[in-house]
Structure 1
């Protein structure tokens, strides 16, 4: 078994190149993992095309924002109000 690199995201990351690029841009580990794995499940083009189909976060309900934050494993989401959820989802 090969030794694990210090910054290796681990076997759960399916598109390591995309994950690393998003992390380099300052994205959180969980958000970068969710997006890169979604891209690996379909394609990068498909994930990019899906963007923009939903209404702006300001028009979402708090419940919808909480659900989305849960999908992305955003820590502390249960204690966040609508504005905080929106900020966390955009980070």
Structure 2
């Protein structure tokens, strides 16, 4: 049975699976709360193929601080490491 992690976690089952894979609490929460996670099936464009504005918006969605001053490459690095 899946544990209830409270109102801040929208998908408890996904959260637990991600935590078991070794993800941090913050990253697992961010992924499990994203309604689009797991639905793209690997069909999303590579970060390098996206515009800086698209990367900025994705960084905003996942809560990366300092994104307004980042270059495209810095945004890509931050998104990959978040």
TM value normalised by structure 1: 0.62
Alignment gaps of 5+ in structure 1: 1-8
Flag the structure with more relative contact order, 1 or 2, with Cα contacts below 8 A and sequence separation at least 6: 1
Q: Does 1:11 align with 2:1?
A: no
Q: CA RMSD in A?
A: 2.7
- Alpha-carbon distance in structure 2 between the residues aligned to 1:23 and 1:76: 26
With structure 2 as the length reference, what TM-score do the two structures score? 0.68
Structure label with greater radius of gyration: 1
Q: How far off its partner does 1:78 sit? A: 1.4
How many corresponding residue pairs? 77
Unpaired stretches in structure 2, ≥5 consecutive residues: none
Q: After the TM superposition, which segments of 4 or more aligned residues of structure 1 sit over 6 Å from their partners?
A: none
1:64 to 2:60 alignment: no
C-alpha distance in 2 between matches for 1:83 and 1:28: 26
Give the 3 Å change call, closer, same or farther, for CA 50–70 of structure 1 in structure 2: same
Report what 2:79 is aligned to.
Answer: 89
| Structure showing the higher helix proportion among its residues | 1
